[in-house]
Amino acid sequence: MVWFRRDLRVGDLPILSAASDAGGRTLGLFVLDENLLGPAGSPRQDQLFANLTALDHQLDGKLMVVRGDPADVVPRVAESVGAEEVHISADYGPYGRRRDAAVAEQVELIATGSPYAVAPGRVTKADGDPYKVFTPYFRQWMEHGWRGPASTDAQTVRWFDPSDKEGGPRRVSIPAPSASVSDFVGEVGALEQWKEYCENDLDRYDDERNRPDLDTTSRMSIPLKYGTIHPRTMLADLSKRLGDGAQAYRRQLAWRDFYADILFQRPDSARKNYDDKFDRLRHDGGVDADAAFTAWCEGKTGFPIVDAGMRQLAAENWMHNRVRMIVASFLVKDLHIPWWRGARFFMSHLVDGDLASNQHGWQWTAGSGTDASPFFRVFNPITQGEKFDPDGTYVRRWVPELRDVPGKAVHSLKAMRPVDYPDPIVDHAHEREEALRRYGEIKG
């Protein structure tokens, strides 16, 4: 049996080769697990359902989808078809490790590969300790290397038709998405998306990756989240290119592996400060803080680049990475609200919400994580907007109240502030000093 999780594809999937070696027919299984679906939010649920439908099509309608607790249903499905082995891609997340341990007590789980180019725990210092800083990790990651793409497809195994199964958990229909999903769905869509990006925008990635107004990032975080493409496939294509764009993009894939490694080493960092000194940092709470948080969520802070980002998130369930850093800095250092409130909001709205990357991206901005941006680095939302959205195109795209404000003046609004656009909810200069004062209280 092949149990699909974060690997909703048939190409470059080593578990298919492992299952083929075992001989016989193979049942493809996916479990709708409420422990994962519940916290996911509708954007990720909808994308999941669309990708499952695409995978089922690749398997000629032979994907067995069941609903329930994997520790209960996986062994029962395996027993109902006489499967002696259950093949998986290893999961290194906190919940995934607990879930797999529970299932492995009842059936033989065989893990081959992972969702990462280099699995967590593989890249270590000479003494075996994990890295806490990205740059030395990246050097060792490059030296360690990774396997080439696995040569697999839908014909690698002989698929068992679930309609032939007798007894055991009942097969359920794949739920229909409740809203529209990304343009590129399933493995075929992911490969097409990646090909188009490589042909049109990759060479400019190093120069344009911080420009939300140009919209030339790949958005491959979405297919990577669901495993409709593997980073090995992408790295193989990047290796054929020598430009700065390909090298910068490779580095971002390394960041994804790094954050997965950090979460593997410190599962508690999904909910708590990696640097426990920040446990003493004073945060704002109460009615006023809640009102500020609501204004941030709704894109009504009076700071154009912040509001544009939050409104893009509401409209597309995605946000440009540079803007993610800007809005995170604003929440933590201008509004003095703890990073985990923002991280939870992101995870409930982002279609590409990945626990390791999201939580540690927030901790990077908050200053409480590994390889963190120094806490005293407080993004000025006005100058950030002027630098990375120099003509104001991004802001005007997402904040209609400001569409008549020309050029980069849309960021400062010194000459005019439309009556239907809110005043700033805080004074940035004052809140920056307050953030630094609070940091000064704990840094010793």
Per the annotation, binding residues for FAD are: 205, 217-221, 249, 252-259, 352-354
The set of residues, in sequence order, having a beta carbon less than 8 Å from that of 324 and lying 6+ positions away, is 309, 346, 361
Which residues are CB-contacts of 175 (< 8 A; sequence separation ≥ 6)?
Answer: 32, 45, 49
- Amino acid residing at 260: A
Rg (C-alpha) for the chain, rounded Å, is 23
The residue ranges of DSSP E strands in 112-227, in sequence order, are 158-159
Q: Which two three-digit tokens encode residue 407?
A: 């050029």
3-state secondary structure of 2: strand
Annotated binding site: 205, 217-221, 249, 252-259, 352-354
b (16+ CB within 10 A) / e for 62-101:
bbbbbbbebbebbbebbebbebebbbbbbbbbbebeebbe
Distance CA 222, CA 225 (A): 5
Nearest alpha carbon to residue 75 among 102, 103, 111, 97? 103
Look up residue 422 and give its DSSP letter.
Answer: P
* Contacts of 12 by beta carbon, 8 Å cutoff, 6+ apart: 149, 150, 152, 229, 230, 232, 233
DSSP secondary structure code for residue 408 in this structure? T
Closest by CA to 311, choosing from 393, 402, 395, is 395
Placement of tokens 């948080």 in the chain: 293
Biggest alpha carbon–alpha carbon distance for the chain: 74
